[in-house]
Structure 1
Amino acid sequence: MQLQRMPADGSGKRGFYQPGGVLEVLAEGLEENVLSVAKVDVERTEALLKQEHMTKHELARALTFLVASARQAVDVAECRAERLDSLRADMEPDD
């Protein structure tokens, strides 16, 4: 059983956990939170773009949050892909 990577927390350090433990639940909760925030940021940016008048500052601020959320969502996707690859490797028969 391999260690799994946790999504980045912004500290620049990578965290790992052993599947089946308390940290796995924490990592899954963190991933769900990242995706929820990304969804809110997308919706907020879409709403702003529908406004007839917006300032450059408002748009820049929305895009800043959107880019940060997108980066975190990509990290979550990469963590999940790594887990899937690990599961596939565990399921392959040994020669």
Structure 2
Amino acid sequence: MAVYRAYRERIPGMMPIWPLGLPGWYDEHVAQGLADDDGILLAVWRRGGDAEIRLPFGAAGGARPAAVLFPTDVPTGLEWDGDDLVVTLPEELSARLIRLG
């Protein structure tokens, strides 16, 4: 709830994004978020497949600082590779909320 409270005022003015495209029912990786001029709130799920998830942002990402908002007590890899954010979720069936910017 603390994370939600910190961002709830921004949410109504944010635009939805899908860095991997709209998700399919059986997709192993899903990413969706909300973006505004101050940054991006991004939810990433690993429902199977590789631990490494490459999210293409192009100029929209701009190698902004990335930080895990929730959960913060589990291993998570965040690294920019050019215009792609590479998220590593070691555990299958896991998810993270990430802030860019």
TM-score, normalised with respect to structure 1: 0.20
Of Structure 1 and Structure 2, the greater strand share is in 2
Which of structures 1 and 2 has the bigger CA Rg? 1
Q: TM-score, normalised by structure 2?
A: 0.20
Q: Which has the higher helix share?
A: 1
